[in-house]
Structure formats: structure tokens, C-alpha cells
Structure 1
Amino acid sequence: MTTPERPPPSPLPSPSPSPLAMERRTIDPIPEEERHGSPAGLFTLWFGASMQITAVVDGALAVVFGADALWAIPALLIGNVLGGVVMALHSAQGPRLGVPQMISSRAQFGVLGAVLPLVLVILMYMGFAATGSVLAGQAVRRILHLPDATLGIPLFGALTAVVAVAGYRLIHLAGRVATVTGIVGLGYLVVAVFTRYDVPAHVGVKPFDAATFLLAVSLGAGWQLTFGPYVADYSRYLPRSTSERATFRATFAGTVTGSVWAMSLGALIAAVAGDRFLSDQVGFVGELAGPAALGYVMYLVVLVGKVTANCLNAYGGFMSILTTVTAFDGRSRITPAARVAYITGFSAVATVIAMAASADFLDNFKNFILLLLTVFTPWSAINLVDYYLVSRERVDVPALYDPDGRYGRWNVPALSCYALGILAQVPFLATKLYTGPLTSRLGGADVSWIVGLAVTSAVYYPWARRTTTFDDDTADAPGASRERLPDAPQHAE
């Protein structure tokens, strides 16, 4: 009797790269064999990135500019939920396509046409990196006992660049660490606010005001909507079989829960502290923590949260710059040295801006957020309407890198819709630089982002439906650029 041969042992899986190892991929598609992770990682990344001092300041703005905390907190919740839905829908594209978010927008605007919103995206990342560095610099100054906050900004910029150069895995690790420190640190601060101040005496003291309520909604929505241009960058490594619903839920839960927690804390702090918080946001948080040792720990919590958030900006800025440059030269990969140069250069410019623009931080930050809403709500509307309602999640990924492919170089109608979406918001703006003629009729409320989403979607959808061809036989026909691809495999739940 012969003994049956045993099958040869299965090869051992290759070990996962260390989070400290430099990421190999940039804007090129992620092969299936390199996909890894689960949607749970998205929850910790976006919770950690949102549970931080800049979100606290964003929530405080609602009260600083006139809202009562009693009304500001539910308004911030509404804004975060509305904006979070849009943001998480972008995130769900990552596992399906395996490409960065702004590469996928070439399907709507054309390979060269996508450069227009990309330039604005790069400016957004630069602005957020600079404003975040202002707050982080305050924390570094106190940790190292530096004589001036601006001296802490370059140190923070260098730390951000190091993590961003390592890339995807280390950024996700930073998100997990920031989740733990954020829960402990900001959870302690919530308790401290209620034990050190008579909170009920400072809330519910102003009558309801629709304009400031809508301002708070806009601040919450703006926080979420501005994540849209890079959110899929951090889900693109997930296996293609990952459920879109699971990706959506993890992203939505992480970003909304973390943001609302931090913003609500900010609204309460602004209500009870007033001018003391306005003059030194990070310093006040350290004092609120209590004794010197606890204050020191709180500054570390601030720093960890800001490292996570600013790495998203540096990494996203690098990816966007690379997407812009390669639209003209056709590349999809670069050398490690070029990667270091791009990220270092971006971080250096953001550092210089932060050191020069730290005065009047709160007022500048509010106007910055509202201005970004004007620019990015039409982009989100076009991207989501096209992906989910027109092409129905079918994208020719190779054509995203080919100016002569089906998506072409310029999609003039889509760019026209984008410009129209921006112009439609102008009469409804309420910013320091400009107030629209219809804003006063709404009591000063800024509803421009709602108008931008609605108008852009209403104009783009019927046009795209009329011009999209569903016959795959015409995919290579001259002039054909937006044909629907064959159905992709269904996702596993």
C-alpha cells in the first residue's frame, strides 16, 4: 500500500513592510497582491485625524462668531453628518479603483482638465498644513520651553515631513495612536470643563439666531467636505473585494464621531472662557488640564493629533502635485529621492506660511474654511454624481493615465459645470472678503455650499447622462471618451 504524496507546503506570505519603510507606490494603481488592511483602519485614521486641536478651534468659531453653545453643538452635528456623507462616499471609491482620489477625477474633467481643481486642492492642503502648524508650534514651544511659538513650527514641519515620506502605513499607524491619545486627552478635557466651570450658566443665554446656526452648520460641513479630494488616498490599498458599505460606514463613523466630539468641546470652551481662549488656544487647553505635569501631557496629545492631521495634508499635497505634473509628462511613478524632495519642499513652504501668518488665527481660519467650501463643493458634486449615478462605478483605470484615451485631455462641459457651481455660490457668500447680495436677505447666513452642491448636481447630471455612451463596442471609436465599462464583480459584504 503506497502512501499518498503530500502536497507541497504553501509558500509563506511575504512579510508586510515595516511602517517605517518608505512606501513604493505613489499615484499608480495598487495591484491586488499589494492590497491589505480592513475598513477598521479607516475608522481609527479619520477619528484620530479629527479628534484634535484644530477641530476644537473649528467648533469654538461657531460661538466666537455669535452662536450660543446650546445651538452651536447640534448645528455642528448636522453639518458634520451632511458633509460626512459626501466625504465617506468619496472614501468608498478607494478599494474599487485603487488610485488616489484626484487621479480618479480625470474621469470627469479629462487628464489635463483635472489640473484646474488640482491647483486649488494643493492650495487647500498648503493652507491647512500652515494653520495646523501654527497650533502645533504653540504645543512644541511649551513642551521644549522655547521663547517663541514660531520656533516650534519648523520642528513640527520636519516631523510631519518624515512621517509623510514614509507614507501610507506609518500615517495609518499615527491615526491609531492619535485615536487613543485623543480619546484620553479630549475626554479628560470634557470632564475638566464641567468640573472647573459652571457650564449651565454659560449656555442657553442667547436667543436662537438662524444666521449663526447656519454658520455652525457650514463650519461642520466644511470640515468634512474639504477631506473629499484626498480621502480615497487612504482607502486605496484595501482589497478590491472590500465592501463599499463597510468602507463608507467606517470612514463616516470615524470622521463624524471624532469631529463632533472635538468641536462640541471647542464650543463649550469658547462659551466658558471667552477671550482667554481666543488669545492662546493651546495654552488655554494646557491650563484647563490642571497641574504642570498634566498640562505637559496635554501638549503631547495636541502634538500627536496634529502630526496625524498634517501628515494627511503633506501626503495629499505631494500626491496632488505629482498628479498635476504627470498629466503633462505621462509618468505614474517617481524615484524615492524625488518623493523626498516633493514632500520636503511642500512642508517647507507650509512652514514659512505658518511662521508669517500666525496673527489673527481664528478669524483667518474661519474665512479660509468658508472659502474652501466655495471651491470644493462643485468638485464633489461632479465626482460623486458621475461615479455613482452616471458611470455607475465603472471606470477605465488605464485611461486615467492616457491623455489620448477615452477620457481625453479636457472635458470642457464638466469644467463649465464646475465653474458654474462656483459662480452660483457668489450671491450667497458671507465671508470677510466678500458678502453676497442675497446673504442679507437670509439674515447673514452662509448657505453657499448648499447652493453649490444643488446647482452643480442639477446641471451636470442631465448633461452627463445625455453624452455618456453605454455601448462598449464604441470604446475605441474616434472621439469616444466616456463609454460605460462592463460590469465589475460584485463586492462581498
Structure 2
Amino acid sequence: MDASTESARVGTVETRGIEPVPDRERHGRASQLFWTWFAANISLLGLPLGASLVAFRGLNFWQAAIVAVIGSVGSFALVGWLSMSGQRGGAPAMTLSRAVFGQRGNKGPTVITWISRVGWETITTTTAAYALLALASTIFGVHQNTVLTLVALLIFIVCTLLISGLGHATIMWINKWATLLFGVLNLIVIGFLVATVDWAKVLDAQAGPLGGVIGGIGFIAAGTGIGWANAGADYARYLPKSIPGKRLVVASAFGAGIPLVLLISLGSLLTAGDDSLATASDPVAAINAMLPSWMAIPYLIAAFGGLLMSNHLSVYSAGLTMLTLGLKVPRAWAVCIDIIVTFGGGIYFMLIAGDFYGPFTTFLTLLAVPISAWIGVMGVDMVRGRRYNPDALMDTGRTSRYWYTGGFRWAAFGPWIIAIVAGLLFTSASTSDNDVWFKGPLADTWFGTNGLGWAVAIVVGGLLYALFGGRDHDDLAGDTPSPTATTPEEALR
């Protein structure tokens, strides 16, 4: 058994980096993606998303539930569809992106992807540290201070490192069994939270405007699936090509959709009677205050575990992204470097920044645009049936088939840049009325006020690439087509 195969076992350090996985080493089932995306979304960050739909967009519970279904299930169906590129090419998403944008041109989308991953990790790490601080207060009666905050951050980061550092096989195993455990704990907590709902106010709430529903769908999609779209291939690259692509789509959509619809809907229920959750600087404490005191310990454990399930996936993908950028270290060391950056971000959020959700929603709004532009270009490229040449993916020099013109494939890079500009024209990002980070000149139009700048970026990027991108005929011989699905659109039939 060679080293790379040995490292694919549970409990051993994965030594494979971003190099494509050969067919002989492919293994697993589509159900792995179900557990992967269930794990990524079982954290209680879904509750504030639902709270925002009611508090800031004026929706009632029924509208929020519909928004949750369309926004989360739909966006993760897109994640599943894009993950088929990983199954086809055997490499992480941003490594495969080299074939589309060129070896140098791909650095732009890859840098944005890494910033996105680090941002999500910082948000998750911060929330988990709040949970640990609340747990320490409940059990030992000690209150938050600088030293205790640093300890809480370190504990969560070490737990993340133990999982992400080991790699793909261990992550796949933990996703299933830990999700079942923390899923049961979350169901118990949810049961008690439902008991606090003011049903009279829920039933009396007036329906919000159609614009609020459309904007809510965009907000949920941007805050859930769109943020993971450029990581889907990372977890599908070990899957055999014989698995029909439609199974990856269904597994991803339902794996993420089940917990997200439940949590987002519950968040909207809780906020119908009290909007404190939507504005809380410490969401963990806000939820804890709604529960009986004796429920604090199981709730905080469930919160910590759910956030850990999401964070280890983000850190794993971030490590692969750093390797794609050219970092010359083993994959496990790339994870360590990413963890250090996340620790610094956690310190900023907990000890320096005065607001939690302001920077959170602003971060989501801005990064959704360039990521969406990448989705538009990559999506069209997948429809064209690209096959990836493994040697060319790993050759970053001028001899690479994917070097194109000076390292750029302008037919893709150009539409990506134009799509970003188009999306930002309709985008507004602020933490408050008096703290506007960015506002595009068309932000007050219908698309802008409904938060659809990211959707504009997808459409513009995909359309321009479809019109002017051409085809890379050399890549039609890049690998052997799957016997059951030669192109993504055939896989979905």
C-alpha cells in the first residue's frame, strides 16, 4: 500500500495535498456529502439568520420558512452541482479553477476564497469561544476576562486542528457520528426553545412585502450555500466517477437543507416575540437566556460541538486553498498556519471589536459578490463538459497547458472582473446607518435594496463567459469520461 493510500485511512494524517486523486484511490459514497454539509450547518449560527429575516426584513414565520427552504436548499444544490468538478478532476475546487482562469489568473479567485474561509472560521471560532466562556461561568462561576478569553479561543482552535490536521478520511468519519451526537443534543435544545415562543405574536404577525421575501432568499443563500460553493469539490474529489452526479446534488441539498431550514425557521419563531437575538453582540448568551438554567450545560456543549463541525471543514478547505496559492509546505502545516490567522481574528472580534453581527453581515455581503462571479464562470465551464488534465493542473510554469497568455486565460478572468464590478454596483454594505463600508451607485435600485448584487454577479459572469469564453478543445482529452455521466447536465437527467 503506497503512502497516499495509507494516509486516506481514519486516524492517520492525510499526506495528499492538492494533487489530483487517481482513479485507483477513489472510494466512498454520495452519502458522505450528506453528512459533510449536515455537519457544516448544524451550528446555532442558523438561528440569528432566521432572526434577521423577521427583525430586519419584516417577514412573518411562514414567509421566513419559505425563504429558508429556497435559500438554503437551493444554494446547496448549487454546491452539490459544482462539487461534480471535484469528482471529475479529483482535485480541490480552487486547484481545478486553474484550468479555467490560468495559472496566474486563478490567484485572484483563490485569494478571495481564502479570505472567505478565514472570515467564516473567525466568526465560528468567536461564537464557540463565547460558548466555552458561558460554560465556564455556569460550572465554575468564573466570568469573562482577557486570559480566559484567550484560553477559550485556544481550546476551540486545538480541537479544530486535531480534526482538520488529520485530513479527509477522519473528517468524513467524524462528520457522520459527531453530527448524530450533536444533532440529538440540538433537538433537545430546540424543543425547549420552542416552548419559549410567543405563539400569539407569531400567529398575529403580518406578512412582509414581496421585496423582503426576495431579499431574504438572497440573504440566506449568500450566508449559507454561496459561501461554500467554492469548497464543494474539496470533499467530492475522492469519490468514484461512477457515482451519478445527481446523487451529489441531492445529498448536498438535503444534507445542508434539513438543519438550516429547522434552525432558520426556529430563529424566526423566537424573534416574533423578542428581537434581542437579532441584535445580540453575543448570540450564544442570548439563546442561553431563553432556556431553563439546568439546560445551560447541554445547550453549551451542543453549541460548541455544532460550531466545531463547521469550523474543521472550513479550516481543511482553507489549507488546500493556501497550497493552491503556492505555499510550499505539507497540507497539515498549511492547516496550522491558517489556524494561527484565525486565532488573531478571534482576538479582534472578542477583545477589540464592539459589534459582532455588524461585521458579520457586512463580510457576507461583500465577499458574496466575487465568489458569485467565480460561480457564474465555473458553472458555464462545467456545462461545457471540461475534463481536467492532472499534469497541467500541477504544472504552474510556462510549460503548463493552463498557462495560456502570460498565465492568464482572459476569456474567463475578464468576465470574472467585469462580473465583480457589475455586482458591486448593486451592493451596499454597512454595520449601521452611520457606518457605511461600501455603497454602489445602483444600490438603491430594486436589485440593490433586495440584496441581489451577488445574483447579478453570477448572471453577468456566466453570460459573458458563455458568449466570449470559447472552448478549450485540448481538454476534451484530459481524462476518461465517467461511464454514467459524461457531462454535468447528463448526470442530472
TM-score by length of 2: 0.86
Q: Is the 8 A contact 1:92 1:244 kept in 2?
A: yes
Name 1:365's counterpart in structure 2.
Answer: 360
What percent of counterpart residues are identical? 23
Alignment deviations for residues 40-70 of structure 1 (CA, whole Å, 9 cap, x no partner): 1111111121121122222222223232242
User: Structure 1 residues 277, 211: CA separation in 2 closer, same or farther (over 3 Å shift)?
Assistant: closer
Q: Does 1:249 align with 2:262?
A: no
Q: Does 1:150 align with 2:149?
A: yes
Q: Residue type of the partner of 1:123?
A: I
Alignment deviations for residues 388-433 of structure 1 (CA, whole Å, 9 cap, x no partner): 2x2x142222211224222212112211100000111122113212
User: What secondary structure sits across from 1:147 in the alignment?
Assistant: coil
The one of 372, 389, 414 equivalent to 1:416 is 414
Alignment deviations for residues 160-205 of structure 1 (CA, whole Å, 9 cap, x no partner): 1121111112222332134314432333344323322323413552
User: What secondary structure sits across from 2:229 in the alignment?
Assistant: coil
Alignment of 1:435-474 (within 5 A): 435-442=439-446, 444-464=449-469, 467-468=470-471, 470=473
The one of 366, 370, 377 equivalent to 1:375 is 370
- CA distance in structure 1 between the aligned counterparts of 2:217 and 2:57, rounded to whole angstroms: 13
User: What secondary structure sits across from 1:22 in the alignment?
Assistant: coil
Q: Is the 8 A contact 2:189 2:299 kept in 1?
A: no
User: How many angstroms does 1:469 deviate by?
Assistant: 5.1
- CA distance in structure 2 between the aligned counterparts of 1:34 and 1:252, rounded to whole angstroms: 26
Q: Is the 8 A contact 2:419 2:461 kept in 1?
A: yes
- CA distance in structure 2 between the aligned counterparts of 1:203 and 1:456, rounded to whole angstroms: 42
- CA distance in structure 2 between the aligned counterparts of 1:393 and 1:381, rounded to whole angstroms: 15
Name 1:187's counterpart in structure 2.
Answer: 187
User: How many angstroms does 1:368 deviate by?
Assistant: 1.2
- CA distance in structure 1 between the aligned counterparts of 2:305 and 2:114, rounded to whole angstroms: 23
Name 1:6's counterpart in structure 2.
Answer: none
Q: Is the 8 A contact 1:68 1:271 kept in 2?
A: no
Q: Is the 8 A contact 1:469 1:484 kept in 2?
A: no
User: Structure 1 residues 303, 177: CA separation in 2 closer, same or farther (over 3 Å shift)?
Assistant: farther
User: Structure 1 residues 306, 134: CA separation in 2 closer, same or farther (over 3 Å shift)?
Assistant: same
Name 1:5's counterpart in structure 2.
Answer: none
Q: Residue type of the partner of 1:44?
A: W
Q: Is the 8 A contact 2:387 2:476 kept in 1?
A: no
User: Structure 1 residues 25, 236: CA separation in 2 closer, same or farther (over 3 Å shift)?
Assistant: same
Q: Does 1:40 align with 2:31?
A: yes
- CA distance in structure 2 between the aligned counterparts of 1:420 and 1:175, rounded to whole angstroms: 38
Name 1:282's counterpart in structure 2.
Answer: 284
- CA distance in structure 2 between the aligned counterparts of 1:254 and 1:268, rounded to whole angstroms: 22
Name 2:161's counterpart in structure 1.
Answer: 161
Q: Is the 8 A contact 2:60 2:208 kept in 1?
A: no
Alignment of 1:26-425 (within 5 A): 26-70=17-61, 71-145=63-137, 147-148=143-144, 150-151=149-150, 152-202=152-202, 204-222=204-222, 223-275=224-276, 278-279=279-280, 280-292=282-294, 294-325=295-326, 334=329, 338-358=330-350, 359-388=354-383, 390=384, 392-402=385-395, 403=397, 404-408=399-403, 409-425=407-423
TM-score by length of 1: 0.86
Q: Residue type of the partner of 1:387?
A: M
- CA distance in structure 2 between the aligned counterparts of 1:413 and 1:230, rounded to whole angstroms: 23
- List, as ranges, runs of 4+ consecutive aligned residues in structure 1 with deviation greater than 4 Å: 14-18, 482-487
Name 1:429's counterpart in structure 2.
Answer: 427
Q: Residue type of the partner of 2:382?
A: Y
Q: Is the 8 A contact 1:269 1:277 kept in 2?
A: no
Q: Is the 8 A contact 1:58 1:366 kept in 2?
A: no
Q: Residue type of the partner of 1:63?
A: V
- CA distance in structure 2 between the aligned counterparts of 1:78 and 1:304, rounded to whole angstroms: 27
- CA distance in structure 2 between the aligned counterparts of 1:122 and 1:469, rounded to whole angstroms: 27
Q: Residue type of the partner of 1:201?
A: K
- CA distance in structure 2 between the aligned counterparts of 1:231 and 1:205, rounded to whole angstroms: 38
Give the total of aligned pairs.
456
- CA distance in structure 2 between the aligned counterparts of 1:16 and 1:396, rounded to whole angstroms: 24
Name 2:434's counterpart in structure 1.
Answer: none
Q: Is the 8 A contact 1:92 1:245 kept in 2?
A: no
Q: Residue type of the partner of 1:87?
A: V
Alignment deviations for residues 213-254 of structure 1 (CA, whole Å, 9 cap, x no partner): 233212221110110111111111112222212122111211
